[in-house]
């Protein structure tokens, strides 16, 4: 059961740390800071964080943990929107240097590959229901 006193930011941080154990918390904090900047202007913070988590979930599922960690590390210095994460992961997975991802995003070349929809219902439901994802085991309850 979800604790109703946990903020969207805390929930996002917890889920990211569970999705990618041992990650640098600074990466996650940068994503939260970017979500705060956009809150109310372009997208509510909870929606942004939910979308961001679901995209990292899909990246890990589709491209593996190594690419997902590389992508998260990029977010320390480059503000990527949720809809750019799978496209950025695609580029990383195919050998593009991490330092080039920011410019690809600026140029509009980080859309989800092959016209994949954004975001997926399965990933959104997993986040909202408080479930975590483990690539080898599928969904697990908390």
Q: Where are the domains of the chain?
A: 8-111+118-140
Distance CA 14, CA 142 (A): 11
Average confidence (pLDDT) over 82-92: 92
Distance CA 66, CA 74 (A): 13
49's tokens = 């964080």
Q: What is the pLDDT of residue 42?
A: 73
Evaluate if residue 137 carries a pLDDT over 50: no
pLDDT tens sequence across 94-123: 999 999 999 999 999 988 777 555 555 565
User: In terms of pLDDT, which residue wins out, 67 or 133?
Assistant: 67
Q: How confident is the model at residue 128 (pLDDT cuts 50, 70, 90)?
A: low
Strands in 45-111 per DSSP E: none
Query: Does the model's pTM come out above 0.75?
Result: yes
**Total Cβ atoms within 10 A of residue 10:** 12
Q: What is the pLDDT of residue 89?
A: 94
**Element spanning 138, H or E:** strand 138-140
Q: How confident is the model at residue 132 (pLDDT cuts 50, 70, 90)?
A: very low
CA-based R_g, the chain, Å = 14
The CA-atom distances, in angstroms, between 27 and each of 16, 17, 23, 30, 129 are: 10, 10, 8, 5, 24
């Amino acid at each position: 059961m979800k604790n109703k006193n946990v903020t969207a930011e805390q929930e996002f941080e917890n889920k990211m740390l569970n999705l990618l154990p041992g990650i640098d918390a600074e990466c996650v904090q940068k994503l939260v800071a970017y979500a705060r900047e956009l809150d109310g202007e372009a997208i509510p913070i909870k929606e942004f964080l939910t979308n961001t988590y679901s995209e990292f979930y899909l990246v890990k599922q589709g491209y593996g943990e190594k690419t997902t960690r590389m992508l998260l590390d990029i977010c320390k210095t480059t503000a990527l929107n949720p809809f750019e994460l799978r496209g950025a992961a695609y580029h990383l997975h195919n050998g593009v240097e991490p330092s080039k991802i920011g410019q690809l995003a600026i140029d509009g070349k980080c859309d989800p590959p092959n016209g994949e929809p954004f975001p997926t219902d399965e990933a959104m439901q997993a986040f909202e229901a408080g479930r975590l994802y483990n690539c080898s085991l599928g969904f697990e309850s908390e």
